[in-house]
Structure 1
Amino acid sequence: MFRGKIASILEKELKDAKLSKSAIHEALEIPPSTEMGDYAFPCFSLAKVLRKNPSEIAKTLAVKIKPNQELEKTEAINGYVNFFLKKPVFAEEVVGRIFDEKEKFGHSDRGKGKKVVIESPGPNTNKPLHLGHMRNMALGISLSNIFKANGYKSINVDIINDRGIHIMKSLLAYKKFGKGKDPAKGHKPDHFVGDFYVLYSKEEKKNPKSKEKLQEELQSLLRKYEASDKETIYLLKRMNSWAVQGIQETYNRFGMHIDKAYYETEHFEKGKALIKEYEKKGLFEKEDDGSISINLEEEGLGKKVLLRADGTSIYITQDLYLALQRYKDFKPDKMIYVVGSEQIYHFKVLFTILKKLGFKFAENYYHLPYGMVYLPEGKMKSREGNVVDADNLMDETAALAKKEILRREPKLDKKDLDERAERIALGAINFFLIRYDALKDFTFNPEESISFEGETGPYIQYAHARASSILRKAEKEFNLKPKFNPRVLKLAEKEEHVLVRELSRFPSIVKDGAEKLKPDLIANYAYKLAQAFTDFYTNQKVLAEDTREREERLQLVAATRRVLANALALINIAALEKM
């Protein structure tokens, strides 16, 4: 939009600085107040190149850049060139484009013909998903949607961790106490498996002798598995199938779609073979104890064991194989791993090894790390059985949403109540999990997240519902459906202009969300847009007596409703017609 036009003007005037249009476009800012203009260009980085004071550069540019059909004026303020757009022209361009592009407003084809593969959330099959997995899914789903909006083909993959010591703990407890039972009707199968994981932990804590005996049995079970004992493998497959079934139900409820799942039991042996192959080629080292490693001291990553002395694999073993396999499967232009921040070192090692082995595609492999999620009671734990799992958290948040809905609409029928509460609850959870920078640790408070006021998902959903309500009322009372009509568009009032300006930002926010791997940009934009809309309809009468004012403001309401819906869709939140 106008950002690009301003960048072109500045590029022409800054030939001596040799700044590209894209660099200028990136540098343009939105001033905090409309009194400071609609766009601002900082001149501080030009001081060294042009050998002038930033304030002088800004003043010179402000004089050179003349008003035109779209630009009302420019001002130099403290080293910035501030651009003031003509409000009616600005409104016509922004609102017209939204009416024209509809659900595609904010989308682009900059990634056309390219593929991105996103790994998320990587569950273990010994327990249900918990709040940490929900943050992973919220980030993964949003990233996938944002890349699609930028024209990419987005492919969601999963790694199912269905073997290892923790999985065996559930299996051992089931062998000892499960009595061959299947999950009872109404008992979610992943919770059934998780109950045995908790039971193992409780048995282990009874006394030192009990712990020692259980650990001996656990090692015996592991050896049986490694030796392909039929009974052990049968039981493991049975329990894993229950866990995966339950996890899939949670995926479906949360809106997580997986295009391809990779199972650890199916590829860990291939990972071991790959390590041995490269060791024979002299690319990895065999240590005196029989383990295989790689020296990454020059890269500041130390020496990394790739295969243990006893021949058993570790995470890096299978991740090396999977990185190659996924490239064979999809030939992605980008591969993004959504994995907790405690694995930052692991992925630095993984990508470094791939590059040292000559795989150039690793230059486009990225790790999106994320921080811990806490509850008001403290850090989540799973072995003690006091973890707040995803299913229970969604149920609890939906129950809180029902109370809020009934307080506002006590006669709502049960079906509508249940459906609306579920969509509000999922919106509340998604927004809370995405609104922070991914690396930030934070405390999730269900009661705070479900509030219809403040920086929450329901607040944004309410703004969309409010816009829908205004449009229904306009149709009922005035038989009026908003259509784009530039002849009546002035939108010169402060709240109107602020809202138009906020709407204009959406395409660049979607672009930045993909380029910077930051879904929080979309979440925070949606909140600011909802705020601007609330200020607008609070201070300006939409269904005004004056026909022209009524028509232009309804166009603005319809445009805002559309952009709110588009933004919410990117972060996996339902845009509701009624709240």
Structure 2
Amino acid sequence: MQEVVRERLATAIAKLFDIEINDFAVEIPPRTELGDLAFPVAFELAKRLKASTGQKQNPREIASRLASELSGIDGVARVEIAGAGYINFYYDRAAYLSNITGSPSKPEPQLGGKIIVEHTSVNPNKAAHIGHLRNAVLGDTIVRLLHAAGEQVETQNYIDNTGAQVADVVVGFKYLEQKTLEDIKAIEGKFDYYCWDLYARVGAFYEEDASRLKHRADTLHELESGEGEVYEMAEYISMRVLHCHLETMARINIKYDVMPRESDVLHLHIWQRAFDLLKERGAVEFETEGKLAGCWVMRAADELVEKADEASEHEPDKVIVRSNGTVTYTGKDIAFHLWKLGQLDINFYYKPFHTYGDGQLAWITTSDEGENDPAHPSFGNASAYFNVIDIGQSYPQHYVKLGVMAIDHDERVERSAHVAYEKVVLSPATAEQLGLRLSEEDRKRKGMSMSGRKGLGVKVDDLIDELTSNALAEVANRHPDLSEEDRRDTARKIAIGALRYFLLKYTRTSIIFFDFKEALAFDGETGPYIQYSVVRANSIFRKLSEAGIDPDKTAISEVSRERVAELLSGQDGDDLWSLIYLATRLDEVVRSAVAALEPAPVAKWAFQLAQRFNLFYHHYHILSEQDPARRALLVAITAMVRSQLIATLDLLGITAPDRM
């Protein structure tokens, strides 16, 4: 409906003023008496007309002239001028309700083509911690939002299986514990937890004798060779840890389509092909003098040079290949992203790696043609990509995009983006509850940061277990009649809802201070509060059935439009209309979230809708309502809100339990 109004307004502007404005602001008035849509476009027109004619224009007069051209829009009851020049539209409420209770339309993609979203990308050397979890939840939710917006999406999880982190765990097994590959295979229990502790011990191992760092250098060299005993050990360790990661992420409803591995990027010479293209296009230059002599660098844009002159911590020119011939992470990223966009005429081989509970396969790359499964889906060849990487990587990610744009100038590629996010820290109370030892000084801090290298942090599985345990105690207290299986299933859904919502309600660039008590609260801006609203809506329909009232026979479609209009007038009508109108704005909220790559507004909207519905729940009593038409309206509103809340929770990766 909003798009129809926009088009008519743009047509009127062109007719009356011979000015083309297609992208103008629209506001939702704070109160229903001010209308359903408000356009301040008359103010912009006044500025443009004054600039072209030299004469001052009155925005209110401009708005009045436009309003005279906007009568007769289907679904709009009236158009009014407000304030100094706002054009306010009032919907025909009965017609609007009739239209939205029909079949929903399929959204038209705004970006077009395949979009690759890369997220999680945890080093496969130890258990995932809560910092990794924010990346994964954020990325997964963006994937869900893109799907909801009608986009074609491929979800990737890049696996750095040849880096220093994996090398350090290999050093730990080989030199610290002196284990063979067969010894490692015999380790039982949570292998990623074992590696977590070992990784922390390796840090101390190096600190005791710096000469031991040679073990890391030698191991890295053997990993890049792609063969030998050390490579086989690293392959087994990294892939076993990766299986652990996938099982952990599946607990919070996160899945992947394909997992490209850095070892295959190296062995298939994807970097070399990208390097040749960068040189051909003049995107990189060989430095012959100064401190970067012998390096291949990417020149900075003027604005970055200015920032560097202001005592920036980064060099204005980005090194892509060091003087010793090794490729930087930025160089590898450029190559990998060019493969994503189908610019290298090289492809990986693929094999199945992990099967999820619903039968979905997660594929992994391989450089061995003999392992290739010809039945694999088509991966890569995207029109754009979104990379979820922490905010500290903004500088190198800027150069990654510059390198990609030097080869691929498609305007859709320009929309590709680094989706940056801030860190997660724990409240002191939560840190202690999870077993971290805190000093008195630590307890006075607002939050506790984590370090995987020092073994300081909270593993995702421990966090989920603790949240589930807390939720289980509450469920058992409220529903002692439930079976143990149902209690655990309910507790798990509440825990996941609490965790995911807590990580999503903050904007990406906000630091999150995670607290158990706050996240699990049934009141306030939490996942359980929204889940509870769905449970309440379900209870209304259950009670209707128990009372012998068939909700299907109280359909609003059986009520005349005139009667619906009457029910949606007056103070109560305004109240009901405001809930209807809010509930139908999900598509608009999703489009806005996709445009900004920011899920937080979706989480906020879900909370607002749940709040409004809970007020509705307490104020209107459907079971005791004697007027059949009014009852039909209340049932329709409840069904609509329930449907939208369930859909929104699904976008956030959350499921509502049957009881709470």
Q: TM-score normalised to the size of structure 1?
A: 0.90
Compared with structure 1, are the counterparts of its residues 282 and 11 closer, same or farther at alpha carbon in structure 2 (3 Å cutoff)? closer
SS of alignment partner, residue 417 of structure 2 = strand
Whether contact under 8 Å (2:339, 2:381) holds in the other structure is: no
**Cα distance in structure 2, aligned partners of 1:228 and 1:61:** 70
- Please give the secondary structure, in 2, of the residue aligned with 1:179: coil
Q: Classify 1:276/1:467 alpha carbon distance in 2 versus 1 (closer, same or farther; 3 Å).
A: closer
Is 1:552 paired with 2:552? no
- Secondary structure of the 1:159 match is coil
Q: CA deviation at 1:572?
A: 0.9
Alignment correspondent of 1:380: 450
Match of 2:420 in 1: 369
* Secondary structure in 2 matching 1:313: coil
Deviation at 1:309, TM superposition (A): 2.2
| Match of residue 339, structure 2, among 314, 317, 325 | 325
How far did 1:538 drift?
A: 1.5
Q: Which amino acid aligns with 1:318?
A: K
User: Do 1:338 and 1:369's aligned partners in 2 also have CA atoms closer than 8 Å?
Assistant: yes
Q: Give distance in 2, aligned partners of 1:548 and 1:93.
A: 18
Q: Secondary structure at the match of 2:454?
A: coil
Q: Normalising by the residue count of structure 2, what TM-score does the alignment of the two structures yield? A: 0.80
Is residue 93 from structure 1 mapped to residue 106 from structure 2 by the alignment? no
CA deviation after TM superposition for structure 1 residue 306, in Å? 1.0
- How far is 1:458 from its partner? 1.1
Aligned length: 565
Contact residue 268 and residue 317 of structure 1 kept, 8 A: no
**226 and 75 in structure 1: CA distance in 2 versus 1, 3 angstrom threshold:** closer
CA distance in 1: counterparts of 2:220 and 2:335, whole angstroms: 23
Aligned-partner residue type, residue 134 of structure 2: R
Q: Residue 440 of structure 1: CA displacement?
A: 2.0
Which of 178, 191, 194 is equivalent to 2:193? 191
Letter of the structure 2 residue corresponding to residue 80 of structure 1: Y
Q: How far apart, CA to CA, are the structure 1 residues paired with 2:18 and 2:188?
A: 68
Residues 226 and 260 of structure 1: CA distance in aligned 2, closer, same or farther (over 3 Å): closer
Equivalence for 1:355: 405
Return 52-61 or 431-440, whichever deviates more.
52-61
Moved more, 270-279 or 422-431: 270-279
Residues 1:322 and 1:465: Cα distance change in structure 2 (over 3 Å) = same
Q: Which moved more, 1:235-244 or 1:81-90?
A: 81-90
Q: Which amino acid aligns with 2:337?
A: A
Residues 70-79 or 167-176, more deviating? 70-79
Task: Give structure 2 stretches of 5+ with no counterpart.
Answer: 51-56, 306-315, 343-378, 429-447
Summarize the Cα distance change of 1:410–1:185 in structure 2 as closer, same or farther, 3 Å threshold.
farther
Q: Distance in 1 between matches of 2:111 and 2:408?
A: 27
Aligned-partner SS, 1:562: helix
Match of 1:443 in 2: 513
Shift of 1:267: 0.9
Q: Match for 1:263: what amino acid?
A: R
Question: Would the aligned equivalents of 2:159 and 2:260 in 1 still touch at CA under 8 Å?
Answer: yes
Which residue number in structure 1 is paired with residue 88 of structure 2?
Answer: 82
| Distance of 1:441 and 1:322 partners within structure 2 | 29
Q: Which runs of 5+ in 1 are unaligned?
A: none
AA aligned opposite 1:13: A
8 Å CA contact retained: 1:144, 1:154: yes
Report what 1:300 is aligned to.
Answer: 304
Identity %: 26
- Tell me the SS of whatever aligns to 2:317: strand
Q: How does 1:349-498 map to 2 (within 5 A)?
A: 349-357=399-407, 359-360=409-410, 362-377=413-428, 378-482=448-552, 483-485=555-557, 486-487=559-560, 489=564, 490-492=567-569, 493=572, 494-498=574-578
Q: Residues 468 and 23 of structure 1: is their aligned pair in 2 closer, same or farther, counting only changes over 3 Å?
A: same
**Higher RCO, 1 or 2 (CA under 8 Å, sep at least 6)?**
1
Shift of 1:299: 6.1
Code of the aligned partner of 2:192:
D
Work out the CA distance in 2 between the residues paired with 1:282 and 1:409: 67
Aligned-partner SS, 1:236: helix
Contact 1:7-1:21 at 8 Å conserved across structures: no
1:23 alignment partner AA: D
Q: Give the one of 56, 59, 69 matched to 1:54.
A: 59
CA distance in 1, matches of 2:590, 2:86: 25
Task: Confirm or deny that 1:160 pairs with 2:151.
Answer: no
Contact 1:279 1:292 (8 Å CA) reproduced? no
SS of residue paired to 2:88: strand
- Cα distance between partner residues in 2 of 1:491 and 1:449: 37
Q: Does the Cα contact within 8 Å between 1:157 and 1:262 map onto a contact in 2?
A: yes
Q: State the Cα distance separating 1:197 from its structure 2 match.
A: 0.6
Deviation at 1:454, TM superposition (A): 0.7
Whether the 8 Å contact between 1:400 and 1:447 is mirrored in structure 2 is no
1:334 maps to amino acid:
A
Deviations 1:474-532 (A, max 9, x none): 12113222434242633442331111110221221122222222222221211111111
Aligned-pair Cα RMSD in Å: 2.6
SS at match of 2:304: coil
